[in-house]
A and B are shown apart, each in its own frame.
Chain A
């Protein structure tokens, strides 16, 4: 298990950062879409009483 002592370290790091980056992009994207949806629902419902 000494694989992290050589170049494989960079492979592991790149894969981990790619997975993490993917999760991060999904979270930020969900956050933006949900914020818009939440604002829209609140605005429309308040306008219609």
Chain B
């Protein structure tokens, strides 16, 4: 299901991007759809509260004694509260929204209990009590939230970066793949337009690689201690930036357009051969800090196939984000290609007049 939704996001983005020709102006409806998609992604990445389950509370309690985390819960049995005179709290049977639907006893003080009724779903700060079946509610954060995002231990609120960092890096891979496709088309047809397409898509791909690296560094600062750790994933991205940086150095060092296009096309094809290895293979073969590294025990919150890692809300927002960033890539590509084509037409005209 995860793979199908991710594939749907990628296909939606590509379909939107290729809905009109790359070298033609983007229609008004297209611009509106892409801007709305981007705005929707941004709002959905920031607004929904993050809420976990009682199992997450136990996990965090083992790591940080007495740590409270937001949990999405509701009454397990209506009117089940019992008043404890010693602690002056109510003991309420409450159920979380994990796949196992765990039911436990939660201690709640009167002011908090007054904030919701028996049919409400609440997101509340909860910490573990004396045992795994007894908890304490500290604060009600939201009542009946429309959407919630899953709590990912270790990431918590930073999990929202998932909807920026991962789609940006996948978009970069698509951009480099497109660069190779246009390079192949150039070598087959010798049409200079494909050379312009190939160089422009590599430029936009490089932009998305820099954005993915920057958003990854924000994560690394909080989770790994420093922005740059020479983790295998960071090293592979650095190598990728060097490879495509060299591509532009090569292009700028050749004056003859045909020679530049041919050498650039061969280099773009050879560069893309390294992309799957640097992005998907090498970081998974070596031990590192990034999710999905060898020995980490998990493919990470995006690719993990464990049943409890699937959350429909998270997955739909992720797919929308993928579609939005891929469509944005096509928009930037179209702008850059058209600018280069106009520039090229003017240069040719000036040469003819000279």
| Residues of A participating in the B interface, judged by any CB pair closer than 8 Å | 1-5, 9, 12-13, 16-17, 20, 24, 27-28, 30-31, 34-35, 37-38, 41-42, 45
Contacts and interface: CB of A to CB of B under 8 A. Distances in A.
Contacts of A24: 35, 38-39
Nearest to B341: A38
What secondary structure prevails in chain A residues at the interface with B?
helix
A20 B158 contact: no
Interface residues of B, number: 29
A30 to B, nearest CB: 6
What secondary structure prevails in chain B residues at the interface with A?
helix
A31 B42 contact: no
Given A1-B222, A16-B46, A17-B42, A38 B342 contact: yes
Given A30-B335, A34-B25, A2 B157 contact: yes
Contacts, number: 63
B157 A17 contact: no
8 contacts: A13-B46, A16-B46, A17-B39, A24-B38, A27-B31, A27-B35, A41-B345, A41-B346
A1 B331 CA distance: 35
Interface of B: 25-26, 31, 35, 38-39, 42-43, 46-47, 49-50, 70, 141, 156-158, 160, 222, 331-332, 335, 338-339, 341-342, 345-346, 349
B157 A4 contact: yes
A16 B144 CA distance: 25
Given A38-B338, A41-B342, A45-B345, A3 B157 contact: yes
Contacts of A27: 31, 35, 331-332, 335
Contacts of A13: 43, 46-47
A21 B141 CA distance: 29
A40 B338 CA distance: 13
